Structure 1
């Protein structure tokens, strides 16, 4: 085999290995990708029917119901609400009226079954996605009030 052919074969194998590695990296990235939705978007049907996603907003006052390790609560963006069920330990800072982001999926009855619940970590912090959702809801309320 000529050196020219060996070099071409080496380059071809290198490109094949590079493409294979890129495929595995992108496949792993896509399977771990989780999108954020507000309660308004979930109620409107914009969230995926199957698969995991995040929903965030505020924990509605008076909505927390505990049954052993199971907890049910409502997440709101002040416009719409999503009922959430979670089994496990909640963060210490999880409280009514505070910001929360829950990761999970919708069941057949449109109940959000959370696999993970994240709460804000101090009085000055709100998860960026939840803060954006609340800001958008406030803008929508202001726009509706102006139109009246």
Structure 2
């Protein structure tokens, strides 16, 4: 009788789960939101992004990242580096703090921002950066300087 109960205890969960479909695998930063409880802190974080051909396009680096809740991560001393197809650096955004909203695919801050790109530099009092489309809204007062390419 004891062996029958042990066998049933092992097999019953497997039978009950057999009809369920497994969740789709999580991609990118979704894993961070599902694996850690709110309030968790990660130090010296690097989150790379790749294009469809598996070439590095950008890296988000943070000295400390804290899981605010299941939708948001807060970072301190954050930098986003952008790369050309040949892996040379194309640009960089430096932030004192940042908040990443998973649902909105948005990184934002209302603290000073420095942007350095091959085409020029910009500074502002905050930023909204769409992680999906990679579009930036720089909050003012802002200063932008474009470099003219050498002839």
Q: TM-score range, shorter-chain basis?
A: under 0.3
Greater share of residues in helix: 1
Greater share of residues in strand: 2
Higher relative contact order (CA 8 A, sep 6+): 1
Q: Under a length normalisation based on structure 2, what TM-score does the superposition of the two structures give? A: 0.26
Q: Under a length normalisation based on structure 1, what TM-score does the superposition of the two structures give? A: 0.27
